[in-house]
Amino acid sequence: MENKKETFPFIRYLILGLIIWNFPGFTLVYVNGVLSSLLSYTSYALILIYVLLNGKTGNCKEMLLFGALYFLISILVSQAYIKDLYSFYVSVIKYFIIVWGGYEVVKNTSLKELWFFLFIGSLSILGNISLFPNPIADHGRYSGFYLDANNGSLICLFGLALSFSMVKSLGLFSKLNFTFMGLLTLSRTFMVIWVLYNLISLKLDIKNIKLFVIGFLTLILLVTFNDFLPVKNPRLEEIGALINGDSVRKSSALDEDSREETWARYYDDLMEKPFFGNGYQSFLGYGVVNSQWGVHNTYLLIWGESGIIPLVIFLIFLFKLTRLSLKQFKSSPHFLFIIFSLSLFFMTNHNFMTNEYAFFVLMWVHSGLNERPNEEEFPKSRFSLIA
């Protein structure tokens, strides 16, 4: 395939910064809504400009089909759970700009470029402690630009995945960084996937067992310095008790908000309308269930709002990516790790349809597996952030 010279690559860097660093969402909370809206619309405008300048050379057809069916079916079934149709139309337009135009952006983004943006994003979690703390809202957990600790941990999982395809010296530094920043989020999902990452990595090299030691020492360090954090984290206190072998009372910190209990609230409505769902946004807070908490499961959300057909398309898409990434595991392990982390993350999160950076990384994996499967994006002999 002939490589066309990219026009104005700095536009792509601006887009990656705005999307992967979640600047529109971050400024909405820490600055004001006007700047947030400006940055949001700017990011989408830049995507369209980038495509106009560089043309279209590929598409993620599965995500286009999935999105079309999800939005069409869910809005036709019911409009009772949305404030107005305008917000729905905006969401639809944003989705297709991200999937159609954003695909060209991520297709031209190398592994080292993506790593750089994820690395800076992860550092914002550390900045959350002192530069822009919000301890009342965070309850001693830190999320950086991503406002939610679980979303912050997902960025760290993406970065950690890329670490397994890097030169050894930089790869070790990267693993240390993303492990430490991910643990700062105190995300149970991160901890579970981190353990599974490292178990799978033993197939690449038995020496990766040292990562368990690194993670354990990092966790002990966080427990030790919990008293010095702006807000003590109850999860760290309970983990510290477990490490010390103390008897631990049934802790709300570790047991509250059981995902199984959250999902169970929606099962009756799911089974009542399994074929075409209950309508757009019906499985978010104050939808079919009178609770501020949504379903916290992307698969259940898709099924519950738009029915079985979009869900099957989405699952087939993930299965296809998993199969392709397994074939390339030895040479490019990061693809499998990213798909693995996203697939599990979808079981604990229901904001995927509006999560631009998750879209970007998912499509980056798709383009890498389908458009440039044999490209060595991280030379083993050297590393430079400059292409």
Tens of pLDDT along 174-190? 999 999 899 888 888 89
* C-alpha–C-alpha distance, residues 154 and 144, integer Å: 12
Q: Model-level pTM?
A: 0.89
Q: Is the pLDDT of residue 387 over 50?
A: no
Query: Does 278 or 224 have the greater pLDDT score?
Result: 278
How is the chain split into domains, by residue range? 7-55, 59-206+261-370
Using one digit for the tens of pLDDT, what is the confidence trace for 232-264? Answer: 666 666 666 555 655 455 444 444 457 888 899
Give the highest mean pLDDT range of 2-16, 76-90, 199-213. 76-90
* C-alpha–C-alpha distance, residues 343 and 347, integer Å: 7
Nearest to residue 58, comparing CAs of 368, 348, 385? 368
Query: Does 2 or 4 have the greater pLDDT score?
Result: 4
Using one digit for the tens of pLDDT, what is the confidence trace for 155-175? Answer: 999 999 999 998 878 888 999
Identify the pLDDT of residue 255.
46
Using one digit for the tens of pLDDT, what is the confidence trace for 80-120? Answer: 999 899 999 999 999 999 999 999 999 999 999 999 999 99
> How large is the angle between the packed helices 356-370 and 9-20, nearest 10 degrees?
130
- Tally: H helices and E strands in the chain: 20, 0
Residues in the chain: 387
Q: Is the pLDDT of residue 386 over 50?
A: no
Average pLDDT over residues 326-336: 94
Q: Are 142 and 125 in contact (CB under 8 A)?
A: yes
Q: Are 146 and 193 in contact (CB under 8 A)?
A: no
Give the pLDDT band (50/70/90) at residue 14. very high
Percent of the chain, pLDDT > 90? 61
Average pLDDT over residues 11-32: 96
Angle at CA 44, nearest 5°, toward 309 and 299? Answer: 25
